[in-house]
Amino acid sequence: MAFDSRLQRDIMGRFATGVTVVTTRYKNGDITGMTANAVMSLSLDPPLVVVSVDKSATMHSALSDGQCYAINILTREQEHLSNRFAMPGPKDFSDLILRESKTGAPILEGTLGYLDCKIVDILPAGDHDMFVGEILAGELGEGNPLLYYGSRYQSIAEGQV
C-alpha cells in the first residue's frame, strides 16, 4: 500500500523552508508565476537548481513553453505575494515593479535575491516534474526571510537574522 500522502505532507511540513515565487515568460511574451518551496540547489559546477512543479499547475505548461524561470526568494513582508501566486490561474502583476533579467523571466522587486535560469532538463517525478535550471544570472537582496513550517508562514525571531 502506498504511503499515506497526508502523513507525508505532515512530516515534510516539519522541514522548514523559505518561500519563493517562480516566474516565467511564455514564448508569446506573456508572464506568469507560482509560489514554490520545492526548490533546491542541485550543482555548483555547472550551476544548477531545480524546481518541482505539479503536472496539473498552469505553471507546468508555462515552463515547458517558456524554457526559463526566475526564482524570487521572498521576505517576510512579502507574504501577500506568496498568497497571490499560490492561487491557481492567471496572475496579476499590474501593481508590481518588475525587472527583466537575461532569460526574460520577470524579477520581483525587494526580494532576498533571485536566480535567473534557462531550463536544461525536465525530470519526471510522479505527479510532479522537476525543472532543472542552469543559472545565467542572479543578485542578492536584503531583509528577513519568509518561512513555511507546519503548513503556516513563520518568521525568524526579531534580532536573529
Ligand X SMILES: Cc1cc2nc3c(=O)[nH]c(=O)nc-3n(C[C@H](O)[C@H](O)[C@H](O)COP(=O)(O)O)c2cc1C
Interface residue list for ligand X (CB under 6 A):
19, 34-38, 52-54, 57-59, 82, 86-89, 148
**3-state SS of 85-150?**
HCCCCCCCCCCCCEEECCCCCEEECCCCEEEEEEEEEEEEECCEEEEEEEEEEEEECCCCEEEEEC
Phi-psi region of 105 (alpha: psi -120 to 50; beta: other; left: phi over 0): beta
Give the shortest CB-32-to-ligand X separation in angstroms: 7
Report the half-sphere exposure of 124 (CA within 13 A, side-chain side).
1
Give the shortest CB-100-to-ligand X separation in angstroms: 20
Nearer to ligand X, 134 or 153 (CB): 153
Give the shortest CB-57-to-ligand X separation in angstroms: 4
- Dist CA 27 CA 149 (whole Å): 35
Give the shortest CB-66-to-ligand X separation in angstroms: 12
Nearer to ligand X, 75 or 159 (CB): 75
Nearer to ligand X, 78 or 103 (CB): 78
Nearer to ligand X, 90 or 159 (CB): 90
Residue nearest ligand X (C-beta atom): 38
